[in-house]
Amino acid sequence: MLNIVLFGPPGAGKGTQSEKVIAKYALTHLSTGDIFRENIANGTDLGKKVKEYTENGLLVPDSVTIDMLKSAMDGHKGAKGFIFDGFPRTVGQAEALDNMLAASGSKISTVVALDVNEGELKKRIEERKKVSNRADDEESKVLKRIDEYFSKTVHVLPYYEKQGKLHKVNGIGNIDQIFTSITDVIDAAK
Ligand code: ADP
């Protein structure tokens, strides 16, 4: 199984690049942000539980996020592999993911971390706001999301670095060039 973590701060281009990765490697896409938004739109119990957090740019508690990811994985038993997009965002989630994969004799193959500086992130989300309709693309919420990233999520990087799985890719520049750098990392892990 090819299991990839696509890692990066809000606005780094995870959504754009994961679409291209899925098309090339036939992986199952698991985006925790997408799943949360879908549940909120459908008014499910999970949606009601997470709305307050997501719309204010705060991380959803680990217990809720991990349970949701586990059932999403269970719903794709025949998958050739997964691309995890927006997960893990805490060290607790990273450990839980390793345990879940180990339980089925699998593991994370590689971690691609998109590197984009804070100034560029703010500029991109400002642009996206014009078309995205996302409640959390409002400026104060964006700052909160970036804050959550730099206070909680960055700690996931040393976790994977210690496992020798971390690969940083420059996330600024031409979309196809960035994609080529990503596929170089994935092909080396196959
Ligand atoms: P971004 O554009 O910030 O990368 P996402 O679509 O990945 O946004 O996530 C949107 C929101 O969903 C986050 O701000 C957070 O509230 C929630 N969320 C998504 N993934 C996670 C996660 N792994 N752990 C906790 N909360 C999450």
Asked if residue 9 has its Cβ within 6 Å of ligand 1, the reply is no
Non-local CB neighbours of 15 within 8 Å, separated by 6+ positions: 31, 85
**Interval 79-119: pLDDT, tens:** 999 999 999 999 999 999 999 999 999 999 999 999 999 89
Handedness of CA 125, 127, 128, 131 (dihedral sign): positive
Please tell me whether the peptide bond between 61 and the residue prior to it is cis, using omega within 30 degrees of 0.
Answer: no
CA of 137 to the centre of ligand 1 (A): 12
| Helix ranges (DSSP H) in 59-155 | 62-74, 91-103, 118-132, 139-151
Q: Which of 18, 36, 146 to mutate to test the pocket of ligand 1 (most atoms within 8 A of CB)?
A: 36
Asked if residue 59 has its Cβ within 6 Å of ligand 1, the reply is yes
- Backbone phi, psi, residue 166, to 5°: -85, 130
Burial zone of 34 (CB within 10 Å; 0-12 exposed, 13-18 middle, 19+ buried): middle
Q: Where are the domains positioned within the chain?
A: 2-189
User: What's the pLDDT at 73?
Assistant: 96
Pick the CATH number of 2-189 from 3.40.50.300, 1.20.140.150, 3.40.50.10740, 3.30.2130.10: 3.40.50.300
**Interval 10-37: pLDDT, tens:** 989 999 999 999 999 999 999 999 999 9
User: What's the pLDDT at 70?
Assistant: 96
Catalytic residues: 14, 89, 128, 134, 145
- Stretch 34-46: mean pLDDT: 96
Q: Please, what's the largest Cα pairwise distance for the chain?
A: 44
Percent pLDDT > 70 in the chain is: 100
- Residue corresponding to tokens 């927006």: 86
User: What's the pLDDT at 139?
Assistant: 86
Burial zone of 68 (CB within 10 Å; 0-12 exposed, 13-18 middle, 19+ buried): buried
Q: Is the pLDDT of residue 129 over 90?
A: no
pTM metric for this prediction = 0.94
User: What's the pLDDT at 110?
Assistant: 98
Q: Is the pLDDT of residue 128 over 90?
A: no
